[in-house]
Amino acid sequence: MNLKKLAGEKAVEFVENGMVVGLGSGTTAYYAIQKIGEKVREGLKIKCICTSFHTRDLADKWNIPCLDIDEVDQIDLTIDGVDEVDPDGNGIKGGGGALLLEKIVASRSVQNIWVVEERKLIKQLGAFPLPVEIMPFGHQHLLRNFTRRNYHPELRKKGNEVYITDGGHFLADLHLGYIEDPFQLDMELKKIPGVLETGLFLNMVNKVVSASHDKVEVLTFR
């Protein structure tokens, strides 16, 4: 059973004619985008905003009409994946490397829906390494700063090369184990010069579509 497909496709039931829809990134959002492509082929009239270059490629492949984010005032609904979700609907994103664009799109969206396999619903955030988008300039200093704070940083690599985000930045993955207070940590990280954005998506999601082997559930948070 393909749980990612079940969750991704279920979320597309919330897409309505005339909407501006944010298309997320990652292997679960992939199935939502594919389904949206099918519906567009059958006549669904929507415009989409992409959260990564890869997603834009998929949208083009399936002839989904896309706009630049600056061409719209707001986005009606964004469907995206997530790496961990806690019981309050706060999450960690960026495992696939797209967090800054994803956060800009999510912050402009009236409704955000995350699509997940049930195993990603956890009690406390932090077992998944927290991705933080950082400036290449001075990144070694920044990594040492993170180490002094016991954040256990690891510079994201792709093979032997440093991973470069769609924004042209680097990613530091913080191996925290657990996060006592995600709001406090988010604030602390953003105060450090060189930190561009964190993978903590707090108070942002409206619905989580979670798929397990028994059921597909829609959890509503706000």
- E strand spans, the chain: 20-23, 47-50, 75-81, 84-85, 91-92, 109-117, 130-134, 153-155, 157-158, 161-162, 170-174, 195-198, 200-201, 207-211, 216-220
Beta carbon nearer to ligand A5P, 149 or 216: 216
Q: Is 65 helix (H, G, I), strand (E, B) or coil?
A: coil
Listed residue (143, 120, 130) closest to 175, CA to CA: 130
Shortest approach of ligand A5P to residue 85 CB, angstroms? 11
Beta carbon nearer to ligand A5P, 108 or 149: 108
Q: 9, 84, 102, 197: which is the annotated catalytic residue?
A: 102
Shortest approach of ligand A5P to residue 114 CB, angstroms? 8
Shortest approach of ligand A5P to residue 135 CB, angstroms? 18
Q: Return d(Cα 31, Cα 7) in angstroms, integer.
A: 8
102 classed as catalytic: yes
Q: Return d(Cα 214, Cα 140) in angstroms, integer.
A: 46
Q: Which two tokens stand for residue 158?
A: 């792709």
Shortest approach of ligand A5P to residue 96 CB, angstroms? 3
Beta carbon nearer to ligand A5P, 94 or 153: 94
Beta carbon nearer to ligand A5P, 22 or 194: 22
Burial 10-36 (b: 16+ CB within 10 A, else e): bbbebbeeebbbbbbbbebbbbbbbbb
Q: Are 137 and 94 in contact (CB under 8 A)?
A: no
Rule CB under 6 A: which residues touch ligand A5P? 24-29, 80-83, 93-99, 102
Q: Return d(Cα 90, Cα 202) in angstroms, integer.
A: 5
Shortest approach of ligand A5P to residue 97 CB, angstroms? 5
Beta carbon nearer to ligand A5P, 104 or 145: 104
Listed residue (207, 209, 213, 208) closest to 3, CA to CA: 213
The catalytic site residues sit at 102
